Structure 1
């Protein structure tokens, strides 16, 4: 009996070792990275198709496969000094907040989901180099855009019937807005905008053929035109300004870059002040007045609960739970539908993890943007522009949708954060000193 058990253990170890070796291979790792991006951005559709239990099963499976792949690559992954302390501190604080939450089970589930998407982001950043991450995102976005536009055409032109389960209203025949696989036009707009950036960088790095780049870019532009999202419109304006600034800095002399950065920062700050002061006239012009009034009403409700636990917050949940737990059950829009997020990353984070957690998140985001901006404007490789551009889109969208706190937004944020730290981490310099 002992010999039989020993034989089974030896065989199990051999199978596990063989699988780890296979999962560390280049083709499997790239396919896994593409699947991870597909799942993260298509999570609302996956939720509809297989339900919460099925979505959890997919998430856990991907995390396990990613862990095995990283285990197989452990000897060639340089991770010392790369994991940002700001990210570690924020995630740790979110975990600790579960202890004082009044909905411990819901908070624990939300933190487990957060750890899952953080793990997937770490896999993309550590298990793949930057060009491979961009290729994986490009392949995934092509599939997502084709699926989204296909569903919209089926609902709006072929059947002329909305798909409420997917959030599709079948308005494509009228020029939009479309919701695609995002559930809302703002989420779909973020997917299309990120896809456009990815496709352009893919072409500039010569990772795809000329015709594939043209077709992919056309898909992204069509989706952006059809979503009709004011939030996405603002994000694209910010992206255009950032792209022009990066191009100018990449072609400027190194000695003049600090001056150019100072001028750019002053200009952006001045524009921000003008927009805030003149928001009453500016927002109606872009069709965002209604959404802004809804957000202001929600934030005033949230402020009441923030004042009850201003420093430590109510406890981390990530995406707002559907269960009737306080305070989330009290946030209802004028039509009687419950809100699914705080519609602003800062307000949402302040409610969940208090002032301390919110400051940790803002600090991590600012540090990530500073590192990615310096890398994008100083390193010769065009691929390093992608992290900075993605952070611009993620930052502007998160001001109105809390995208950064959960799902694909959190995964993308972790990926960009670690990729940026790989070039700018002060701890790596200590190790090599």
Structure 2
């Protein structure tokens, strides 16, 4: 626990750390996290853990390191590969040290703290005015554009709030992730459900106030998948396949309808027809992909300021972009078609394993890893954060943890998830005195 909480805060609320103690302080924190992760792994059973690592993950990490041989920014690639290995080691530490139930508790507690402090932070910002980072990410004494504020203090004005994470999209991601974890927590806990229920309300409120279209879409997808997973549990192979085919047909029709009515969908979600400028970003990134489609420009993860060809590539409303806002285009650009293929392979293998556990196990606890996977993959369509910080840590954690033997999970119950869920939400008569 001594490492899990500060480490997860560092990756989930990285901007809060950088705004508070600067990039130098953040770098020191990353080094300490790396050293602590190595120590924790060394005293456990690292050989057994390495054996459970998915082949796709090991090949992807190897391809990142191999990209040093053709990188267009060798020094930066070397530094960013080091950072990638650091977050990977931390994810391996989490996978090796904690059970799924412990991970649910740790993630729920930390996200509860982030959301609660974010609401207080936004309340104060709305009263005192916009908040400038203690270590600003701009030059001069005047904030050049509103996007450079830690918080714009728009809570009472109906604008998007940013929370302590400093970004409305990241706050929405954290809130939706928290809502799903709190829901599972409320269902599986044997203690009083008041805290998970209040936390669920807080998460829904902040998800609404952060106004993220991608997370709205994620909630719809997760709700649909959860229903399918619960319906498929305990069914024969033939019936499960019938459910899957039916679900696939519904999903296909939904996607076709969205594509046909794209402008109307963006309007409903409160976005411009070009997805808030993302189509322009993707067009520029695609131009770079076509220049080096086979191997890419070299691994960088974050688009580090001052590094060509990213510096000044895309500037929107005076704010430079430092990601492709799509994880698949970003990795295609950095690691070529091979890197993209390895990422897709890793995602596919992880999804199949998580789905198998979620459907076959009777405990609703094992729905939450699948929910996390769906949140980070939904976010990957409009953000590149699947490749860095929290997105990467959660992906590696899920990929490695799900590769463990089924026998290591909690024992199967006598009743299935449908019965347990019905029992949780059924009104119970008061006991007679």
**CA–CA distance in structure 2, aligned partners of residues 55 and 80 of structure 1:** 28
Picking from 147, 154, 160, the partner of 2:129 is 160
In the TM superposition, residue 205 of structure 1 has moved relative to its aligned partner by 2.2
In the TM superposition, residue 148 of structure 1 has moved relative to its aligned partner by 1.1
Specify the alignment match of 1:116 in structure 2.
Answer: 86
In the TM superposition, residue 251 of structure 1 has moved relative to its aligned partner by 5.4
1:140 aligns with 2:110: yes
In the TM superposition, residue 78 of structure 1 has moved relative to its aligned partner by 4.7
Specify the alignment match of 1:57 in structure 2.
Answer: 28
For structure 1, which segment, 353-362 or 265-274, has the greater mean C-alpha deviation from structure 2 after superposition?
265-274
Picking from 402, 423, 431, the partner of 1:420 is 402
**CA–CA distance in structure 1, aligned partners of residues 129 and 50 of structure 2:** 55
Superposed, 1:308-319 pairs within 5 Å as 308-319=291-302
Superposed, 1:15-54 pairs within 5 Å as 30-54=1-25
- Structure 2: which 5+ residue stretches go unaligned? 137-148, 408-433
Secondary structure of the equivalent of 2:311? helix
In the TM superposition, residue 207 of structure 1 has moved relative to its aligned partner by 6.2
- Normalising by structure 2, we get a TM-score of 0.86
**CA–CA distance in structure 2, aligned partners of residues 122 and 265 of structure 1:** 33
Structure 1's consecutive aligned runs of 4 or more residues displaced over 6 angstroms after TM superposition are: none
**CA–CA distance in structure 1, aligned partners of residues 89 and 256 of structure 2:** 37
Alpha carbons of structure 1 residues 42 and 252: separation in structure 2 relative to 1, 3 Å = same
Secondary structure of the equivalent of 1:380? coil
1:278 aligns with 2:261: yes
Superposed, 1:265-414 pairs within 5 Å as 265-289=248-272, 292=275, 294-322=277-305, 324-414=306-396
In the TM superposition, residue 307 of structure 1 has moved relative to its aligned partner by 1.1
Q: 8 Å contact 1:37–1:136 — kept in the other structure?
A: no
For structure 1, which segment, 54-63 or 342-351, has the greater mean C-alpha deviation from structure 2 after superposition?
54-63
Q: 8 Å contact 2:185–2:196 — kept in the other structure?
A: yes
Superposed, 1:81-96 pairs within 5 Å as 81-96=51-66
Q: 8 Å contact 1:195–1:220 — kept in the other structure?
A: yes
Q: 8 Å contact 1:341–1:348 — kept in the other structure?
A: yes
Superposed, 1:205-224 pairs within 5 Å as 205-206=188-189, 209-224=192-207
Judging by fraction of residues, say which structure has more helix.
1
In the TM superposition, residue 397 of structure 1 has moved relative to its aligned partner by 0.9
**CA–CA distance in structure 1, aligned partners of residues 316 and 24 of structure 2:** 31
Q: Size of the alignment, in residue pairs?
A: 393
- Structure 1: which 5+ residue stretches go unaligned? 1-29, 426-433
Alpha carbons of structure 1 residues 167 and 136: separation in structure 2 relative to 1, 3 Å = same
Alpha carbons of structure 1 residues 118 and 291: separation in structure 2 relative to 1, 3 Å = farther
Secondary structure of the equivalent of 2:381? helix
For structure 1, which segment, 342-351 or 58-67, has the greater mean C-alpha deviation from structure 2 after superposition?
58-67
In the TM superposition, residue 349 of structure 1 has moved relative to its aligned partner by 0.8
Specify the alignment match of 1:6 in structure 2.
Answer: none
Alpha carbons of structure 1 residues 314 and 254: separation in structure 2 relative to 1, 3 Å = same
Alpha carbons of structure 1 residues 133 and 254: separation in structure 2 relative to 1, 3 Å = same
- Normalising by structure 1, we get a TM-score of 0.86
**CA–CA distance in structure 2, aligned partners of residues 250 and 403 of structure 1:** 32
Alpha carbons of structure 1 residues 151 and 418: separation in structure 2 relative to 1, 3 Å = same
Secondary structure of the equivalent of 2:401? helix
In the TM superposition, residue 355 of structure 1 has moved relative to its aligned partner by 0.9
Specify the alignment match of 2:416 in structure 1.
Answer: none
Specify the alignment match of 1:5 in structure 2.
Answer: none
Specify the alignment match of 1:428 in structure 2.
Answer: none
**CA–CA distance in structure 2, aligned partners of residues 330 and 250 of structure 1:** 51
**CA–CA distance in structure 2, aligned partners of residues 181 and 91 of structure 1:** 31
In the TM superposition, residue 167 of structure 1 has moved relative to its aligned partner by 3.1
In the TM superposition, residue 68 of structure 1 has moved relative to its aligned partner by 2.0
- Supply the RMSD in Å over aligned alpha carbons: 2.0
Specify the alignment match of 2:221 in structure 1.
Answer: 238
